[in-house]
Amino acid sequence: MSIVVVGSVAYDTVETPRERRERQLGGSASFFAVAARGRGPVRCVGVVGDDFRAEDLALLARHADIAGIRQVPGRSFHWSGRYHADLIERDTLATELGVFADFQPEIPASWRDAEYLFLANIHPALQAGVLDLMRSPRLVALDTMNLWIETTRDLLLAILRRVDVLLVNEGEARLLTGERSLARAAAAIRAMGPARVIVKKGEHGALFFGRDSVLAVPALVLDDVVDPTGAGDCFAGGFMGSLAEAGVGRDAPDAAFRQAMLDGTVTASFCPEGFSVEGLLRVDDAAYARRLAELKAMMVP
C-alpha cells in the first residue's frame, strides 16, 4: 500500500571529526523515502530551490514518486552542523529555510487515497494542511520537535488528536507533557490522541508504548559511525514501510507494530554508516536479514 510523506528535501553541510561534506542530499522526506523504498509506493511532498541538483532529484526518483516535490526559484533548505568527537552530540551552525519558508504543500489528486501518511518534522500548520488533503488514511504518524512544541503548541495539540502514532525523542516527550518519567509522558501523550507513542533514543534504541504493551528495542551496536544525520527519519521510513507492506492499520493489535519497530531499527542502523543516504543505499536483502537476526539475538532474554 502507498505511503505519502511530507517533509524537507534539503541540503546538509555536515562536519564530523574526520570529514566535512558540503551540501549533501538530506532532509527528513529524503531519508524517509530512501529508507521506506521497496516496501510500497512512496510519494514525496516537498519543495526545492533552483539550486537543487538534477542528480539528487534523479536519485530520489529512483526510490520514490517525486511528483509532489515542486522546484521553485530560490535556494533549497540548508542545514549545517558539526558533530562532537562522540558523533552523538552536535551543534547546529546554520538553518537556512530558503524556499521552505513559503512552502505550501500540494499533492497530486491521485495521492489523496494513499493509505499511509507520514508527517515529518515541519510546522504543524503544514502538517495539518496535508492531512486535510487526504481522504481516509489507514494510519497517520507524526514527528515534531521542541520548536513547535514551544511556539505552536495549540496547533500541534489540534493535529495530535488526528494522529495514530507520534514519534518523539525523550526531551520532546518531556517538554510536551511536563512529565519526567517516560512512562507517565507516554500515557499523557496517548491521552492527547495518538494511541501509540514511539520514543526515539538514538544510540540507545527506541521505546514503543502501545495500547496494551511496551517494547524496548535496542539500537544495533555499530563498529563504525560515519554520520548519524537522518537516522531518526530512516527509523520512521523503515517503520512506516513495514506497516504499509504488511497492511497494518490503526486497529491492528500491538504485535503488528512491534515487528515494525524492529524494521525501523534495522533500517536506521545502516544510516550512520555513511554520509547522506549512502549507508542506506548499500543495503541489500542479505545484509538486512543478517542485521535483523543480530537484533533479535540481542533482544531474546
- 74: region left, alpha or beta (phi > 0 left; psi from -120 to 50 alpha): left
Site for a second copy in 103-132 (CB under 8 A): none
CB of 139 to a second copy, least distance (A): 21
For a second copy, what does the binding mask look like between residues 64 and 103, x meaning CB under 8 A? ---------------------xxx----------------
* 298 lines the binding site for a second copy (CB under 8 A): yes
* 268 lines the binding site for a second copy (CB under 8 A): no
**Residue-level length of the chain:** 301
C-beta of 16 vs 276, nearer to a second copy: 16
**Stretch touching a second copy by CB under 8 A, among 41-49, 103-111, 182-190, 274-282:** 182-190
* Sign of the torsion formed by the C-alpha atoms of 295, 242, 68 and 131: negative
* 178 lines the binding site for a second copy (CB under 8 A): no
CB of 289 to a second copy, least distance (A): 14
CB of 214 to a second copy, least distance (A): 5
* 295 lines the binding site for a second copy (CB under 8 A): yes
Site for a second copy in 225-244 (CB under 8 A): 225
Cα distances (Å, whole numbers) of residue 141 to 193, 232, 250, 258: 11, 13, 10, 15
CB of 181 to a second copy, least distance (A): 6
Indicate which single residue of 40, 46, 205, 264 sits in contact with a second copy (rule: CB under 8 A): 205
C-beta of 7 vs 232, nearer to a second copy: 232
CB of 218 to a second copy, least distance (A): 3
**Stretch touching a second copy by CB under 8 A, among 26-34, 108-116, 222-230, 277-285:** 222-230
Q: Which residues sit at the interface with a second copy, rule CB under 8 A?
A: 85-87, 180-184, 201, 204-205, 207, 213-218, 221-225, 258-259, 262, 294-301
